[in-house]
Structure 1
Amino acid sequence: MGPVAISQGINAKVPHPARVYDCWLGGKDNFAADRLAAAEAIEIFPKTVESAQSCRAFLSRVVPYLTEGAGIRQFLDIGSGLPSAQNVHEVAQGIAPESRVVYVDNDPIVMLHARALLASCPEGATGYIQADIRDPEGILAKAAETLDFSRPVAIMLLAMLHFVSDAQDPAGIIRTLMDAVPRGSYLATGHHTADIYPEMLEFARRMSELNPDFTATLRDKKQVTGLFAGLDLVTPGVVQISKWRPESEADALAAAALWGGVARKLRQ
């Protein structure tokens, strides 16, 4: 990455989760520090790449469900990461071209690649916000420039909430987001855990050590289920994300160190 990118507030010497994730998915928008962190993570948890791929596959199943099955035409994707294959707007607009999508991330390098995210179908719209999940009110204010909060919205929080500590109140953040959208809206989340693979405890400890600004809080299945409080969980409920409506046996058997689910807001 050239000096222009670094001059815009990017610290190339400290691994950033969005760029490390990009490494695991085979991307090229990362620095040496990110690649070293990605390799160390794989050494601790050898199924890391497969788990990252399962997270993308989960998204590729959730978005069609929301678009086709639930009729959703608006998406707020918080923690979008770097552009890769099958981004939310590509999947949603491939089904319903009028879909509107807002991406949110706090890594400046994602902003540099926002043009790829913003390549919307003419019938729809996409937007990008550089913001932190810990400021849900700010996200909502900016997102309202693209999304109509009088109509249902799907809020996507995939592989993101483990960066929110208990003291920072992830359930409160979700309430703020869901209170802003009407009945018929949805929440989709995938959350890292050590329930399925105990190696994730050391994985999280080491990744937090490499970048203390992104300390990880792993949560068990009961805690993740609690994040959907007040919402109606879609079948099959909170499960290992590879087992959420898999399209094949290979999907279902894929390694995934995350609990996930989708739920609908029934009350205003």
Structure 2
Amino acid sequence: MDLAVCHIRASNGLFKQTESGLWCIRADEFQFSVETAIPLTGMTLVGPNQQDTSIAPTTSYTVGIRPMGIASVTSTAQVQITNSQGAYQDLNQDWQWVLNQRAVPEAMWGAPLGPNQTPTPEATLLPNRLVGLSQIQLKLGAPATPIPVAAAQAFAYLIIGENSQGIPVYLPVSATAPVINQPPATNNQALTLISQTLTNATVQAKRSSLFAALATLGVNAGMDGDLSDVQQNLGLNYQALPMVGTPDGIPTSVALA
């Protein structure tokens, strides 16, 4: 392919290009175009087993070369895609594309002028000349054999902590869980309970274990520092008494802990 005349350009899904010129793409998004600088009178999609597909422009026209005095030429191009084994892809069945037609200058690709003719002072364009294909992409079809899935057997509700004490039973919500109307409300003891929780030895141990686990995973969770200042100035964190609610019905003191 003469790259000065024919061009292949990625229009979507190109991730990067290597130093050797290879394209790294997303197969589900990749689109490219093939375009030639010379208007075409026809194209051929080369397919497997010599099953080629001919493509003609949507309108009939002739291609001339006015500067050379040529009234009509046959200008064709072949497009082919092969896999890593060299087998031809079926561009007509397995790929989709759009004809790329645009206007070209008559002064270059029009018929020669007669002996007594002079060119018009304004530039004249010849419309709808075939110059290639655009939006070339692989067709994404449904699998030939759909996988049967019985939803009732394949999916089930797995409730975390269903038989544990003090663990909220709402991860995920059971299909048969009763509706508990227990909206959050103010609690005069909320700040006291929060303060007691901050210095509770069991809670502190669990918090330290959590920080240690995150550090083991390489997560920087900050400092597991002393919370005495937070406890002493707890009221500065709230403009009013915090709302307390326990939608799973466990005691408020356990919920705050």
TM > 0.5? no
Mark the structure with the bigger radius of gyration.
2
Higher relative CO (Cα under 8 Å, sequence separation at least 6) belongs to 1
Q: Shorter-chain TM-score category?
A: under 0.3
TM-score (norm 1): 0.19
Higher strand share: 2
